[in-house]
């Protein structure tokens, strides 16, 4: 197992009340959708997706992420990776659907695709306006539809509702999505009903990040999210019965 690269935090951006982006003094040659194992010396190591070549974006959801949020400029993080596979670009017209912190891997893909002169339309969601992530970056890459649960900004409703409305008027060559799994399951259903291939970025509890420990294996197929994913085409997801239903904790128990 490779040793982590020690990186100094050179800046911290408050993206929302619960999400911070940590800019690092080193750049990583990653592909959109890949992730890193992030180590806090003396604490623990967890997986996070890259939001740019020298940054990770972290939502505060537990003790480990609370610790990351307490770090300051000049503090160190260990980075292993990048690991996993990545989003692929098929066709010239792509729809990206992101919810919450799922906007982090999606924005890197959207930016990469737009550089390839691909027409990208993004639907991003948050509970409130303050929780919509990377609005400025999405706007630079093409059309964007922002959705809020509380109707405080943009479309008042879920990303999937906006997706249905959009698909009643036009078609796309493919869809990419990342966000809450219950949202992604619906996005997959809509895409398949409209005969569009779709790539989904899954999140699971990980320990090694390289397919050795089996902690992130899904169902009887033995697919490891860290090695076979985290990005899966919909034809693979049909064999993952837990998709959109439940996750597992560090012990493997169903949550």
Contact predicate 232/203, CB 8 Å: no
Report whether 147 belongs to an annotated binding site.
Answer: no
CB burial of residue 122 (10 Å; 0-12, 13-18, 19+): buried
Cα angle vertex 100, ends 71, 17, to 5°? 45
Pairing mode, strands 119-126 and 142-148: parallel
Report whether 151 belongs to an annotated binding site.
Answer: no
Contact predicate 150/128, CB 8 Å: yes
C-alpha distances in angstroms, 90 versus 16, 94, 116, 120, 188? 32, 8, 11, 12, 16
As a whole number of angstroms, the distance between CA 8 and CA 126 comes to: 30
As a whole number of angstroms, the distance between CA 204 and CA 225 comes to: 7
- Complete DSSP assignment for 49-74: EEEETTEEEEE--SHHHHHHHT--TT
Residues in the chain: 255
As a whole number of angstroms, the distance between CA 148 and CA 79 comes to: 33
Phi, psi of 68 (to 5 degrees): -60, -40
Report whether 141 belongs to an annotated binding site.
Answer: no
Cα angle vertex 47, ends 183, 75, to 5°? 125
User: What residue numbers does the annotated binding site for [2Fe-2S] cluster cover?
Assistant: 208, 213, 216, 226
User: What residue numbers does the annotated binding site cover?
Assistant: 208, 213, 216, 226
């Amino acid at each position: 197992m490779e040793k982590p690269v020690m990186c100094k935090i050179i800046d911290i951006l408050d993206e929302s009340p619960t999400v911070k982006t940590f800019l690092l003094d080193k750049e990583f040659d990653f592909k959109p959708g890949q992730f890193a194992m992030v180590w806090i010396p003396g604490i623990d190591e967890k997986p996070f997706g890259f939001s740019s070549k020298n940054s990770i974006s972290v939502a505060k959801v537990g003790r480990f992420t609370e610790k990351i949020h307490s770090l300051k400029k000049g503090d160190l993080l260990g980075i292993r990776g990048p690991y996993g596979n990545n989003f692929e670009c098929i066709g010239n017209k792509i729809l990206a659907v992101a919810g919450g912190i799922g906007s982090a891997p999606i924005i890197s893909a959207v930016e990469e695709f737009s550089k390839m002169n691909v027409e990208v339309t993004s639907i991003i969601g948050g509970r409130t306006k303050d929780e919509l992530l990377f609005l400025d970056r999405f706007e630079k890459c093409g059309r964007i539809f922002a959705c809020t649960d509380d109707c405080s900004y943009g479309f008042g409703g879920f990303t999937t509702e906006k997706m249905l409305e959009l698909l009643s008027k036009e078609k796309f060559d493919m869809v990419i999505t990342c966000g809450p799994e219950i949202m992604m399951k619906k996005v997959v259903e809509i895409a398949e009903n409209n005969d569009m291939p779709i790539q989904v970025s899954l999140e699971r509890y990980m320990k090694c990040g390289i397919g050795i420990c089996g902690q992130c294996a899904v169902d009887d197929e033995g697919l490891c999210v860290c090695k076979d994913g985290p990005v899966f085409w919909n034809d693979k997801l049909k064999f993952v019965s837990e998709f959109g239903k439940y996750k597992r904790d560090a012990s493997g128990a169903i949550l």
